[in-house]
Amino acid sequence: IWDNVSFTWKIKLPEAFSLHKPREEQGSARRRGTAGGMAVPMVQLAPDLSVSRLCFGTMTLGEQNTLPQSFRLLDAAFEAGVNFLDSAEMYPVPQRRQTQGRSEEYIGRWMRARNVPRDRIVLATKVTGPSGQMTWIRGGPKSLDANNILEAINDSYVPMFGETDYDPRRQYGSVAIEEQLDALGKAVDSGKIRYIGLSNETPYGVMKFLHISNYMQSSPRIITVQNSYNLLCRNFDCGLAECCHHESISLLAYSPMAMGILSGKYFSAGGGPSDARMNLFRGRYSEGESRYNLSNVTLKAAVEDYINIARKFGLSPASLAIAFVLIHPLVASAVFGATKVWQLREVVEARNVHLTSEMTAEINKVHARYPNPCP
């Protein structure tokens, strides 16, 4: 599972970057836009931290995607102007001992093979929180103290991956936030990491971290929260958005396509492509299957209505889904996944889609009928 801290490694960011071609290809290295003629726009997460408004999530690299396929996806993202990559130590998913760590490894191998300068990429990664499943990662992990902070960091149990109610009986023993922030502060000072953020967090968790960091000397400040946000899951707007607005915290919205469901492919004849994630890993991906329950009639009805809106206005369902996330005033970057280059390019092209007031009004009508079927 994702834990409550994500961070970017120390880097120096320029205003622009170059695309370095593989050694076997000829031509000078240069930055190129997509077919739309414009690179993915950038946003300032901090005064000296600029990231692309689309962030390529890499949890398929090393499982669904082979090394060559992963290289092609990373090439396409980089060429389009995406400088922001998201990973985690547990990736790829579904998680298993044999593949753990491959996503990060493939990113590193790609950067070396393509001669991509380290200061051209913002890499966000996450550590694994308490889990009774992934025993191959530090034995569980069970407790993460300051001695392990550079490997992993842990906080109390919070409802995530589709859970809507807080259950105190499932509370994990946790390391004090003070200890976490102190260790992270030392990591920042030593140059191991640059900024920190929270992931799958609640309003209470965000405010608790901020409250403690305000009175701790030299404590790093939270600048982002990475939570799910899409047409089928707008829970962020119920409480957490208020916290982020007043505390100047940006949302890194993951799963903007609701694990591909918003493309409508799973409700097509035959249940969609056999290599689509929910089909390929059926029965092996408990978090995804519980949250994105394809047998949920409300979910299907909502998706069908959103697809009809897209068709009415001449858009692909994917473009509508991505454009909806990007217009949120608190969203700095949408963390998207793709297993095929054409999927990645479709997401990139969605940056040019403008949602009119008429379109957003129709979207909100569907949301009112079917609020958050994938919490």
Block residue for tokens 């940006």: 250
Residues 28 and 205: their CA atoms lie apart, in Å, by 48
Q: How far is CA 199 from CA 25, 41, 132, 144, 298, in A?
A: 39, 23, 19, 17, 27
- Determine the distance from the C-alpha atom of residue 171 to the mean position of all C-alpha atoms in its chain, rounded to a whole number: 25
Which candidate in 91, 195, 254, 266 is catalytic? 91
Beta strands in 175-309 (DSSP E): 195-199, 222-228, 250-254
Block residue for tokens 């939570």: 227
Residues 175 and 1: their CA atoms lie apart, in Å, by 17
**Neighbouring residues of 176: CB distance < 8 A, sequence distance ≥ 6:** none
**91 belongs to the catalytic site:** yes
| Dihedral angle over CA of 37, 40, 44, 46, nearest 10 | -140
Neighbouring C-beta atoms of residue 215, cutoff 10 Å: 8
> What does the buried/exposed string (b/e) look like for 271-297 if buried means 16 or more CB atoms within 10 Å of the residue's CB?
ebeeebbbeebeeebebbbebbbbeee
- Determine the distance from the C-alpha atom of residue 260 to the mean position of all C-alpha atoms in its chain, rounded to a whole number: 14
Residues 56 and 358: their CA atoms lie apart, in Å, by 30
Active site residue ranges: 91
